[in-house]
Amino acid sequence: MCYSSAKSASKDGQRALSKAVLVLLVPPVGLMAFGVGFAFRYGKRRDDQQKGEFSSRESASEDAGLD
């Protein structure tokens, strides 16, 4: 909706448009926040797994005397 028609609407109409914009913004913002949170969680878990694999490889090489 263009600015001039929104501006010419009554106060109740302007309030309804403002609420509608907020309602329409909530799902994409929520999904984006969920996606970013999931990405950080997955990255942290992957890093922890790789760190665990690295330390187990390190201890295996020490046990074998490959240092």
Give residues with Cβ within 8 angstroms of 24, minimum separation 6.
none
Give residues with Cβ within 8 angstroms of 9, minimum separation 6.
17
In this prediction the pTM is: 0.57
Give the number of other CB atoms < 10 A from CB of residue 7: 8
Residues 10-49 pLDDT 10s: 999 889 999 999 999 999 999 999 999 999 999 999 988 8
pLDDT score of 20 = 94
pLDDT score of 61 = 58
Q: What distance in Å separates the CA atoms of residue 1 and residue 20, rounded to the nearest whole number?
A: 12
Q: What distance in Å separates the CA atoms of residue 43 and residue 53, rounded to the nearest whole number?
A: 15
